[in-house]
Amino acid sequence: MSMILNYLPLFILAVLVGFFIITSVILSGFIGPKNPNTTKSSPYECGIIPEDTARKKFPIKFYPVAMLFVVFDVELVFIYPWAVVFNKLGVSGYVEMVIFILILLVGYLYILKRGGFEWEKRNF
């Protein structure tokens, strides 16, 4: 029971946050002045003017780019906390990270040689 009591402040905070979000959204809907125009109602108020619906077919070439990005991005997610505790981990931590990066390096070389980074060459 005492375990659960320890979380009471967190619970109160969560309730307060939820309350604040909901009330501010509803209140601003009621109180705020409304002067809509086309630019304001567009999905992106600033930037490039949208031309067409987004729900259409994309060339599949974009998807591998996203996938490759995720792979190497996740690598960074692992390396960052490793770097923070580098001294505590000692030699074994270093060796493990080297193995991990080597495996990813194999993947990188593989993608490079199979033409994964060359936009024109791809024919999926």
Partner 1 sequence: MFIYLFMPVFISVLTGLIVLLYDALMINVRKWHLLFISLAGIVISILYSAILWKLPFSFMNGMFVSDNFSIIFSVLFLLSSAIVLLISYPYLNDNNLNFGEYYALILFATAGMIFMASTLNLIVIYLGLELLTLPLVILTCFKKGRDFSHEAAIKFFILSVFSSSFFLFGIAFMFGATGTVNIAQVVMALSTHKGISFPYMLISVGLLILGLGFKISIVPFHIWTPDVYHGAPTPITAFMSTGAKLAGFAALIRILFYIFPAIHSSLTEVFIVLSVITMTLGNIVAISQKNIKRMLAYSSIAHSGYVLMVLTVFSPATVAAAIFYLIVYIIANLGAFGIVLTLRQKDKEYLDITHFSGLAGKNPFLAGFMAVFMFSLAGIPPTAGFMGKFYLFNVAVNNGFTILVIVGLINTVIAAYYYLRIVYLMYMKKETENVPSTISPFVKIPLIILGIATVFFGVFPSSIVALFKTTLFLTLKL
| Interacting residue ranges for partner 1, rule: CB under 8 A | 103, 106, 109-110, 113-114
Of 22 and 70, CB closest to partner 1: 70
- HSE-CB for 54 with a 13 A CA cutoff: 5
| Of 17 and 112, CB closest to partner 1 | 112
Contact of 26 with 33, CB cutoff 8 Å: no
Minimum separation from the CB atom of position 49 to partner 1 (A) = 38
Least gap, CB of 110 to partner 1 (angstroms): 5
CB of 86 to partner 1, least distance (A): 22
Give the helix/strand (H/E) hosting 101.
helix 86-113
- Furthest CA-CA distance within the chain: 64
